[in-house]
Amino acid sequence: MGYSGAIAMCSGKMYFPHNGRMELLMTLLLSIVILTSLALNFRGQRTYLAALLAVTGITFVILAQTSMRGAEIYTLGSILVVLAVWTNTSLFYILSKIKNIIHSVFIQKSAHT
């Protein structure tokens, strides 16, 4: 649910400064879905970090929708929301795998010299 809500919110379809109530209500509904999904998939400190990222991103998205802020604010908010969902699920696992691969490549190179 978190990914679905984040992708729907961050698709850019709802970005229009001073748009109507329906778009704002949809953003708020998707925000609740995203935050609820984070809470239901509680993973300790990761979830707290993800919630902070999500709330910051949601704030940027709502600011972009309700004021004359540019698409850059909306994009930044969207990136933060997707990063929040990713942080709560598999981001650290993927970063750990990348670190291990890089580490093993450098250890193998240094062992052969």
Residues of the chain with pLDDT under 70: 1-19, 68-69, 108-113
The residue assigned the tokens 């300790």 is 44
Q: For position 109, what pLDDT does the model report?
A: 64
- Please tell me whether the overall predicted TM-score, pTM, comes out greater than 0.75 for this model: no
Q: How high is the pLDDT of residue 51? A: 95
- Residue 27 has a pLDDT of 85
**Is 4 in contact with 37 (CB distance < 8 Å)?**
no
Confirm if 80 and 34 have CB atoms less than 8 A apart: no
In this prediction, residue 12 carries a pLDDT of 55
**Count of domains forming the chain:** 1
Model pLDDT, residue 5? 53
Read off the pLDDT of residues 11-28 as tens digits, 9 standing for 90 and up: 555 545 556 778 788 888
pLDDT score for 19: 61
Residue 15, Cα to own-chain centre: how many angstroms? 17
Residue 65, domain extent: 2-112
Specify the amino acid at residue 71. A
SS3 of 30-78: the string is HHHHHHHHHHHCCCCHHHHHHHHHHHHHHHHHHHHHHCCCCHHHHHHHH
pLDDT at res. 91: 72
- The pLDDT score that the predictor gives to residue 47 is 93
Q: Burial letters for 39-56: b for 16+ Cβ neighbours within 10 Å, e otherwise?
A: eeeeeeebbebbbebbbb
**Residue 32, pLDDT score:** 93
Q: What are the residues whose beta carbons fall under 8 Å from the beta carbon of 15, sequence distance 6 or more?
A: 64, 65, 71, 74
